[in-house]
Structure 1
Amino acid sequence: MRFSRLAAIAGTGLLVLGIASCSSTGGKPRESEGGGGGGTVDTPRVTIAMVTHEVPGDSFWDLIRKGAEAAAKKDNIELRYSNDPEAPNQANLVQTAVDSGVAGIAVTLAKPDAMRAAVQNAEKKGIPVVAFNAGQDAWKEMGVKEYFGQDGYIAGQSAGERLRSEGARKAICVIQEQGHVDLEARCAGVKNTFPATENLNVNGKDMPSVESTITAKLQQDPSIDYIVALGAPFALTATQSVKNAGSSAKVGTFDTNAALVDAIKNGDVQWAVDQQPYLQGYLAVDSLWLYLNNGNVIGGGQPVLTGPSFIDKSNIDAIAEYAKGGTR
């Protein structure tokens, strides 16, 4: 299965460059500022729910939501966004959306087993469901119509190859939510191409704890010369842990935000693997509009990949303007 994924992506290679605050209770979205959207279609106005596993304070989700809002504005959609990092609570939010009679649902599947019943309840009521960001291995067998995101394992392999090319000797891969299928897949991919990798589980809901845990690990094992974080806020925290520990370890990461731009420019963070979250949010909403209004299904039964691509000093200037605008 892994081989087939690699074969599927090999023809295209890695993408070089890809094309704010969130509420836990949903409701009418705030006005989008820039970031595309264009004119509004004249199709009937419908309501679509987007339900994610966002941890409050993680700026990654601002990009997801901004893309979703841009598509909703263009497509004359009322977008109801809600989130909860605990899978049973997220499933309850999906069920609430089903009970309210929304026209479609876009959902992340970080813990697919916990989401299965609610997703299938939507499908039984004829409500189309698309998945994005997490659940690349589970969406199809759950009956979900489309998936938008990167393959975490392939992205991890790319990061591991980068470590090897840079001459790293030992790395830690920092997982901020144990059991999250996509995060686990990323670290498994890193270890596949860079075997001298050890997973380090941290509590992503407590950033001071993240900092102290990474610091302690670096002090305990001075041979660690690379930290791979799985989110921009955790990468920025890891740079402080490096200083705390008096370590010379370098930091690379998955995902971006505006603050990470300066960190890459000044060398605190070496690179970021970008899965284009704005694009994920945009495509999730836009695909539901296409299905509802024209019966279109994107991807031919295969995941639509939005990454991985690398952002580093060689191309950060091209990304910086978009990052400051909140779309990269």
Structure 2
Amino acid sequence: MKTTPPSRRSPASARRTALAAGAVAVVLLAAACSGSDAGADADAAGKAADGRMRIALITHGAEGDAFWERVRAGADAAAAKDHIDLTYASDPDAAAQADLVRDAVRDRVDGIAVTLAKPEAMRAVVAEARSAKIPVVGLNSGIDAWKSDGLLEYYGQDESVAGRAVGDKLDSLKAKHTLCVIHEQGNVALEARCAGVKKTFDGRTDILYVDGTDIPALTAAVTSRLRQDPTVDEVVANGAQFALASVKAVKAAGSRADVSTFDLNADLVKAVRSGDVRFAVDQQPYLQGYLAVDGLWLYRTNGNLSGGGTAPVLTGPAFVTKENAAEVAKYAAGGTR
């Protein structure tokens, strides 16, 4: 299996590097646009010079974000199993992410897996991929948009369902006033989570928008809000690093609020075990990356469509609490949870 170095390297630049090394390009034959004729075209699928299928995974993840490292680890594992030439690229800017998809289309890869954090920014390039007979699947973000945007399959968590589950859990924990922290304004997945919390939580839910790329500023913003409103008794974060920053903010503000979160990493699991964080919602990012790549391989080689091409394949929500954190920690330490 071959992958590019982490983040922001486009599929096109990776291909140019391969060409410079002397690889011979092959002509890609058209892939099927529907499950009914995908199997017939599978043998004609374009291959890399060494005979392997070429797939591009393109996300909106920020460089160095542990969550996306888990997505990529899962994708790498599937690529190794399926003997796929996998290229990874990412950019949190929606327009730049769309350009990366466009690069992959120009490079005539055999399949594209993409996140739809901001679906409207991706719609046109997904259409370009379809016109080029390149199958596209979605993962992680965009569960309400993947079908209308023309994607074949979707792997991820229904964020609205997850948010409602968190609201119910907070009710069971007797919380009264929740602050839901969104670290990327306009991200449909994060907005859906907090909206879901607000829908089922019997208490008051406030939203705080912060800059997830600046952890010190995020910590300061949460600290300030907690000082301004001491009635907040629960901070709900939308990522492991943001939850850990919120723990620091609670202490700095002298607040008695608890912290809970969506998503986790090894440090977050430790925080759950110690009681610094009450619980985490695991959407299983490793599984998302794995299934997206493996799903494209199955489609190109056997005409399979996960979920029948009409329903998403859900990877969460799964709650991680103090009671089961020790079991999860075994996998988190290996970088797969």
Q: What TM-score results when the alignment is normalised by the length of structure 2?
A: 0.86
Give the aligned length. 295
Residue 278 of structure 2: aligned partner: 270
Of structures 1 and 2, the larger Rg is shown by 2
Q: How does 1:198-237 map to 2 (within 5 A)?
A: 198-237=206-245
Q: How far off is 1:26 after superposition?
A: 5.0
Q: Deviations over 1:27-49 (max 9, x none)?
A: 67xxxxxxxxxxxxxx9411100
- What amino acid is the match of 1:69? D
Matched letter for residue 22 of structure 1: P
Q: For 2:306, what is the secondary structure of its paired residue? A: coil
SS in structure 1 at match of 2:288: helix
Residue 290 of structure 1 is matched in structure 2 by 298
Letter of the 1:57 partner, please give it.
G
Deviation, 1:57, is 2.6
1:206–1:165 distance in 2 versus 1, CA, 3 Å: same
Is 1:23 aligned to 2:7, yes or no? yes
Letter in 1 for 2:312: P
Q: 1:22, 1:61 within 8 Å by CA — same for their partners in 2?
A: no
2:134 to 96, 120, 127: 127
**Aligned counterparts, 1:141-156, within 5 A:** 141-156=148-163
Aligned equivalent of 2:170:
163
**Deviations for 1:93-133, whole angstroms, at most 9, x for unmatched residues?**
00000000100000000000000111110011100000000
Task: Indicate if the aligned counterparts of 2:181 and 2:238 stay in contact, CA closer than 8 A.
Answer: yes
Give 5+ residue unaligned stretches, structure 1.
Answer: 1-20, 29-42
> Does the residue aligned with 1:313 lie in a helix, a strand or coil?
coil
Aligned to 2:87: 80
**In 2, are the aligned partners of 1:44 and 1:76 still within 8 Å (CA)?**
no
CA contact (8 A) 2:218 2:245 kept: yes
Residue 317 (str. 1) matches residue 326 (str. 2): yes
User: Match of 2:69, SS?
Assistant: helix
Q: In structure 1, what residue type is equivalent to 2:160?
A: Y
CA distance in 1: counterparts of 2:223 and 2:116, whole angstroms = 31
1:307 and 2:291 aligned = no
> 2:255 aligns to what SS in structure 1?
coil
Paired amino acid for 1:114: A
Alignment correspondent of 1:11: none
Unpaired segments of 5 or more residues in structure 2? 15-49
Q: Secondary structure at the match of 1:178?
A: coil
Amino acid at match of 2:213: K
SS in 1 for 2:86: strand
TM-score by length of 1: 0.88
Kindly provide the amino acid, as one letter, of the partner of residue 170 in structure 1.
H
RMSD: 1.4
Q: Identity across aligned pairs (percent)?
A: 55
Name the aligned partner's letter for residue 304 of structure 1.
V
Q: Partners in 2 of 1:318 and 1:57 — Cα distance?
A: 26
Give the secondary structure class of the aligned counterpart of 2:307. coil
Alignment correspondent of 1:197: 205
List structure 1 segments (4+ residues) > 3 angstroms apart after TM superposition.
none
User: 1:61 and 1:201 mapped to 2: Cα distance?
Assistant: 21
Separation (CA, whole Å) in 2 of partners of 1:284 and 1:233: 25
Cα contact 2:284–2:316 (8 A) shared by 1: yes
Displacement after TM superposition at 1:58 (Å)? 1.7
**Equivalent residue of 1:198, what SS?**
strand
CA distance in 2, matches of 1:74, 1:57: 25
- Give the whole-Å Cα distance in 2 for the aligned partners of 1:56 and 1:231: 15
Per the alignment, residue 34 of structure 1 pairs with none
Cα offset, 1:262, TM superposition:
1.1
CA distance, structure 1, for counterparts of residue 8 and residue 99 of structure 2 = 12
Equivalent residue letter for 2:331 = Y
Is the counterpart of residue 98 in structure 1 residue 105 in structure 2? yes
Aligned-partner Cα distance in 2 for 1:219–1:149: 36
Aligned to 1:63: 70
2:272 aligns to what SS in structure 1?
A: helix
Q: Which amino acid aligns with 1:109?
A: L
2:287 matched residue in structure 1: 279
